[in-house]
Amino acid sequence: MSQTIDIEVVYGLPHKQVLLSLKVPEGTSIEQCIKLSGIVKHFPEIVPSEAVVGIFSKPSKLDTIVQQGDRIEIYRPLIADPKEMRKLRAERAKKQADTK
């Protein structure tokens, strides 16, 4: 009989966040944990086989085997490229400085 471990699966939107705690068999993958957690009932837009995930903010692959106490984080797609946003802010700041 296999042992179970405690893990968490989390996902959030600006207006709603969900953290689910569950027990899974040792040897369970991140993708399996997402399916077992039932988080898709809260967020139907999550596709477990395509999710971008991490464990405690460290990017991970869906086939990664979870360990006792892991927190699986499901990430939302970026709306804007962070590098492009920094570039735009720098350009705006330069324009403001030039007009003073």
- Do 67 and 56 meet the contact criterion of CB atoms below 8 Å apart? no
CATH at residue 66 = 3.10.20.30
- Say what the pLDDT of residue 82 is: 72
What pLDDT does residue 100 have? 65
Structural domain that includes position 85: 4-99
pTM above 0.85, yes or no: no
Please count the structural domains in the chain.
Answer: 1
Q: Which residues of 9-28 are buried (b: 16+ CB within 10 A; e: fewer)?
A: bebeeeeeebebebebeeeb
Task: Please check whether residue 22 is in contact with residue 36, taking contact to mean a CB–CB distance below 8 angstroms.
Answer: yes
For the record, the structure tokens of 82 come out as 């962070």
- From the first residue on, what is the mean pLDDT of each consecutive set of 10 residues in the chain (100 residues)? 90 93 97 96 93 95 97 85 79 78
Nearest to 26 by CA among 1, 49, 48, 50: 1
